[in-house]
Amino acid sequence: MAKVEKNFSTMERSSTLFNILEVDGIPLPVLSKEMWNKISNFQARPDDLFLVTYPKSGTTWMQEILDMIKNDGDVEKCKRVNTLERYPFLEVKFPHKEKPDLEIALEMSSPRLIKTHLPSHLIPPSIWKENCKIIYVARNAKDCLVSFYHFHRMASLLPDPQNFEEFYEKFMSGKVLFGSWFDHVKGWWAAKDTHQILYLFYEDIKKNPKHEIHKVLEFLEKTLSDDIINRIVHHTSFDVMKYNPMANQTAVPSYILNHSISKFMRKGMPGDWKNHFTVTMNENFDKYYEKRMTGATLTFCTEI
């Protein structure tokens, strides 16, 4: 049984729009214990597709790819409404929406695509029971950290990151929303051996998007023409998504995401960590990484 407790002391800032609840020691943006109960008891359907990521790993990018696949490459259909409104985010209640996304999901017709950042051990058990397909996208820790830091600066939903040095320490010790990156990527990596999980890497999608889209199509048992696949690659490229108001999060109210502080579509490149880490930070990070990832068969690339 997951241990649930409120934790405002370490993470609150006056403008934080999320309530944060610790579940099994992991800070989650969950409104209340009652809401956590609803999340754990969420009833999945066998034809649900779950998109799971640690924050800042390319979730929005994969959502756009999946929407394009679902709509057979119809760009206009994918521009019907912004990403946050297109697909529910299982554990979140956004301040500009009337109800939690979970309730929106309950009312949706099948097949549903649902996003979550939950670690594998906190996922609603019905997802395993119904043997739902899951796409997991992982991104190297250093770029995730940098992207998460800038996201904290612009997202008033989240606690104030203070400065990069402090955020770096919190990230390494897993004292950030959704917990430790290390546990998240390893937990889902292990889960893929016993469940229907397609485990992808941000850096691979960046290197060869067409190849990774083919993997997604195969996993979803869908075929599309080469022309459509090329259109998906183009429409979901960083340079195109950056100027698409339905994908770049500029349609989200500015009191939630403040693009004048930092853009949501910021760099979109592996290797930006080099512009943020000092030599010492990098050495310490590598040492800690080695310790936490020993024995893991999971390898990441930190630049391309």
Binding residues for ligand A3P (CB under 6 A):
53, 55-61, 143, 147, 150, 206, 236-238, 241, 265-268, 272
Nearest CA-CA partner of 117 in 70, 179, 190, 171: 179
CB of 9 to ligand A3P, least distance (A): 26
CB of 261 to ligand A3P, least distance (A): 13
CB of 270 to ligand A3P, least distance (A): 8
CB of 6 to ligand A3P, least distance (A): 25
CB closer to ligand A3P out of 61 and 201: 61
Could you count the other beta carbons within 10 Å of the beta carbon of residue 132?
22
- Cα(first)–Cα(last) distance of the chain, in Å? 42
Helix H, strand E, coil C: the string for 217-230 is HHHHCCCCCHHHHH
Q: How many CA atoms lie within 13 A of 118 on its CB side?
A: 25
CB closer to ligand A3P out of 12 and 272: 272
Q: In the structure encoding, which two tokens stand for residue 235, read together?
A: 């429409």
Q: Tell me how far apart the alpha carbons of residues 217 and 280 are, in angstroms, rounded to a whole number.
A: 42
Active-site positions read 117
Q: How many CA atoms lie within 13 A of 203 on its CB side?
A: 15
Q: In the structure encoding, which two tokens stand for residue 260, read together?
A: 């004048």
